[in-house]
């Protein structure tokens, strides 16, 4: 277990982020405050995850003395469209159809907030899905119900295992937390 000089708080409801932060050796508590996850329409797509991530951290600024608050946000960018979480099965189907046989980007941003100071880093992974049959997309949506996932898929689930041919970048960035970046950014807080 890694010992930090300040308590670490993961401000996220995502079970994947909780699992990844635990598996990378950190002890932490979870505290989530409601946040507005909208973003300006003219914001460049690659900057959206960082913007939302800072919104998630902003609500903790006054409560960050002597603590490390960690927030994250993941968006999928396909054909110049930003894909968040699908509202229903029809939208999930449309997202997966859009990504089938093509390359898309997954951007995950993390913000580290301590003593009122924020630092945000964005990491991008490029993912290539082979051509997916309609029946495969429907089967996946029915089995895994990916409504809590940006872009309507989990790289760690059936469709990721069977449909993704290539990834450039970190698998964990796609899953929702660029662990390699979080680890480096938390290093200055390690207790000797
Ligand atoms: C693309 C992709 C996303 N995801 C998940 C990671 C995130 O949980 C989710 C993206 O939604 P987010 O809005 O980034 O996060 P969240 O609402 O789940 O949690 P919170 O805002 O409280 O931190 O999609 C996967 O699990 N696998 C994948 O392959």
Distance 192 CA to ligand 1 centre (A): 33
Question: Which ligand 1 atom minimizes the distance to the CA of 76?
Answer: 1
3-state secondary structure of 135: helix
CA separation for the pair 119, 170 (Å, rounded) = 20
- In a domain, residue 1? The reply is no
Q: What does DSSP assign to residue 159? A: H
pLDDT digit string, tens, across residues 123-179: 999 999 999 999 999 999 999 999 999 999 999 999 999 999 999 999 999 999 999
Distance 171 CA to ligand 1 centre (A): 13
Among protein residues, the one with the nearest Cα to ligand 1's atom 18 is 14
Quote the tokens at residue 8.
């670490």
- Report the DSSP pairing between strands 164-168 and 117-129: antiparallel
Domain that holds residue 75: 8-189
Distance 11 CA to ligand 1 centre (A): 13
Among protein residues, the one with the nearest Cα to ligand 1's atom 6 is 176
Quote the tokens at residue 138.
């429907």
- pLDDT score at 167: 98
Asked if 189 and 4 touch (Cβ cutoff 8 Å), the reply is: yes
Whether residue 192 is predicted with pLDDT greater than 80 in this model: the reply is no
Q: For the chain, what is the radius of gyration of the CA atoms? A: 17
Quote the tokens at residue 176.
């929702």
Q: Which residues pair with 105 in a beta bridge?
A: 77, 126
- In a domain, residue 53? The reply is yes
Comparing 33-42, 47-56, 92-101, which segment has the lowest mean pLDDT? 33-42
- The CATH number linked to 55 is 3.90.950.10
Closest Cα to residue 180, out of 118, 108, 113?
A: 108
- In a domain, residue 2? The reply is no
- In a domain, residue 171? The reply is yes
- In a domain, residue 3? The reply is no
pLDDT digit string, tens, across residues 71-108: 999 999 999 999 999 999 999 999 999 999 999 999 99
Active site residue 115: no
Catalytic residue among 31, 62, 73, 192: 73
Q: Extract the runs of DSSP E, i.e. beta strands, from the chain.
A: 8-10, 29-30, 68-78, 81-83, 103-114, 117-129, 164-168
- In a domain, residue 89? The reply is yes
Number of domain units in the chain: 1
Whether residue 182 is predicted with pLDDT greater than 80 in this model: the reply is yes
CA separation for the pair 166, 161 (Å, rounded) = 11
Interface confidence, given as ipTM, is 0.90
């Amino acid at each position: 277990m890694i010992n930090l000089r300040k308590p670490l708080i993961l401000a996220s409801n995502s079970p994947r982020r909780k699992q990844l932060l635990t598996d990378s050796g950190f002890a932490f508590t979870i505290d989530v405050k409601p946040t507005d996850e909208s973003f300006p329409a003219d914001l460049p797509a690659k900057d959206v995850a960082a913007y939302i991530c800072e919104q998630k951290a902003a609500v903790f600024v006054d409560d960050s003395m002597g603590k490390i608050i960690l927030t994250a946000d993941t968006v999928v960018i396909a054909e110049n469209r930003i894909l968040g979480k699908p509202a229903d099965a029809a939208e999930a189907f449309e997202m997966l159809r859009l990504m089938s046989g093509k390359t898309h980007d997954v951007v995950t941003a993390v913000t580290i907030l301590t003593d009122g100071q924020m630092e945000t880093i964005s990491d991008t992974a490029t993912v290539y899905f082979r051509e997916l049959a309609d029946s495969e997309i429907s089967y996946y949506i029915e089995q895994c119900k990916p409504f809590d996932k940006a872009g309507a898929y989990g790289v760690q689930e059936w469709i990721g295992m069977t449909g993704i041919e290539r990834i450039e970048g970190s698998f964990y960035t796609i899953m929702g937390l660029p662990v390699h970046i979080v680890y480096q950014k938390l290093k200055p807080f390690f207790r000797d």
